[in-house]
Amino acid sequence: MSKTPKRMKKLSAIGKAEKSKWRTGFKKWMQSDSFLRVLSVVCAFFVWFLVYTTIDTTTTTTIRDIPVEIDLSGTIAESNGLDVVDSEQRYVDVKIEGKSYEIGQLTADNFRATLSVTDVTEAGVYTALPINVERVDTNFSFIIRSVTPSTMSVEFDSMETKTFDLSVSIPNVEAASGYLIDSYSVTPSTITITGPESIIDTIDHCVVENQDSKVLSESATLSGTVHLYDESNHEIVSDYLSYENTDYTISVPLYQKQTLPLSYDFVNVPDGIDASKLDFTVEPASITVAIPVGASSNVSKISLGEIDFRKLDLNKTFTFDIPLLAGYLNLDEVKTATVTFDSEGYEKVYLSSNNIVLKNIPSGYSAELLTTTVSDICMLGKSEVLDDLSSSDLVLTVDLSSVNITVGEQRVPVLVTTTDKQQAWAIGEKSVLIQVTKDSNG
């Protein structure tokens, strides 16, 4: 404990010696050249700052690439349906003058350049429309000395929207051997284009094109791009045309060729008549069709329709539209066919008959013939058959099962046949008059 005060005195003496040594070093540094240099720089900065901020010195600078706005709102141009088509330049440079410490902080965002369109009243090119520049979001004081360029050339036109049908071009797509490409379709099938009227009016047709090389053995869908053409088939390319849809799908159905015979059927063939023994000429006898790939191919003929035997007269020709199944194509492009009865060796004879038979009278009704004889029945057949045919060979059948009978007198059709089923038949339709009564107990 007795050594502690001595030690404290020793440490205090050392501290005083260190402080004295530091003061001596600092005085020497302040008297040195390096100190004087640092002090000179600091003083010079403060003097410069004082002059820069207080003395009214001005300078000039150029603010570049200020975008030019073209606003037609509320103008005559807008009321006349005009819009900007083209302009030679969209940016200006502005030369300004002011305090350098202020204007040095300005950028293009502190300026707004607008095109004066008060003189625009109709479509056309305006070569010297003035450009106005004003300050934005700044309180700095400066003067706009010049605007470069000070005017702008701009084209105006009426804007139009028009819808065009789309066609397809796939020049490098072909069908494999034995197959056929007949037509294509595109989805969507129309295009709506908006643009300057002067350009829209030059569009003649619009085509969805695919230039890929393909050999198809099955139906396909392809992508395509739209190309616009004028009436001379020159392509129209313009940045001022717009349309919404850019995705177009081309459908390419593939077909297989097949030749099919034309056939027909008969109705109202009398009993005993063998229609297969009659000769007919079909023109054309067959047609070539295109059957969609993947569709059923078990069709062996094309049925034209039915021939009513009661209308089968000498050299009679029946005309039919040629029907096709859905999706089939008629490659011969023949729309109708004829079936002609070869009546060589056939004759006609007119007979009368009173051999009238009523059958299938509905239950609860009675029927009585009022007609006793049917005259002028035209019979057609081979001459050797008609030579032996007489009125007694005819049977006139009234079948009431196929008649909607009513009480009272009623005319009903008759079916003419021959007793020995000779190869002869009646032409036209005959009828008789009957009296229908309702049974008292019905």
Give the three-state DSSP class for 41: helix
Query: Would you write out the chain's pLDDT as a tens digit for each of its 442 residues?
Result: 444 555 555 555 555 556 666 566 656 656 666 666 766 777 766 665 665 555 557 889 999 999 999 999 999 998 888 888 875 668 999 999 998 888 888 999 999 999 999 999 998 889 999 999 999 877 888 899 999 999 999 989 988 899 999 999 999 999 998 889 988 899 999 999 998 998 999 999 999 999 999 999 888 999 999 999 999 999 999 888 888 777 899 999 999 888 999 999 999 888 888 888 899 999 999 999 988 887 766 788 999 999 998 899 999 999 999 998 888 889 998 999 999 999 999 999 999 999 999 999 999 999 999 999 999 999 999 889 999 899 999 999 999 998 998 999 999 999 998 887 778 899 999 999 999 999 886 5
In contact, 349 and 379? CB cutoff 8 Å: yes
pLDDT recorded at residue 21: 63
Q: Torsions phi, psi of 220, nearest 5?
A: -145, 160
CA distance 230 to 124: 22
Question: Per-residue DSSP letters for 283-347?
Answer: ESSEEEEEEETTS------EEEEEEEGGG--TT-EEEEE----TT-EETT---EEEEEE--TTEE
pLDDT score recorded for residue 2: 47
- Rg for the chain, CA atoms, rounded: 53
Residues 72/117, Cβ–Cβ less than 8 Å: yes
CA 431 to chain centre: 58
The answer to whether residues 377 and 358 touch, using CB atoms and an 8 Å cutoff, is no
- DSSP, collapsed to helix, strand or coil, labels residue 355 as coil
Cβ count near 398 (within 10 Å): 21
Residue 197: closest CA among 170, 224, 237, 157: 157
Residues β-bridged to residue 59: 98
Q: Note the maximum CA span of the chain.
A: 177
Tell me if 101 sits within 8 A of 52, measured CB to CB: yes
- With H, G, I as helix, E, B as strand and everything else as coil, classify residue 233: coil
**pLDDT given at position 1:** 45
Query: What span, in angstroms and rounded, lies between the C-alpha atoms of 89 and 64?
Result: 13
Compute how many other C-beta atoms are within 10 angstroms of the C-beta atom of residue 8. Answer: 10
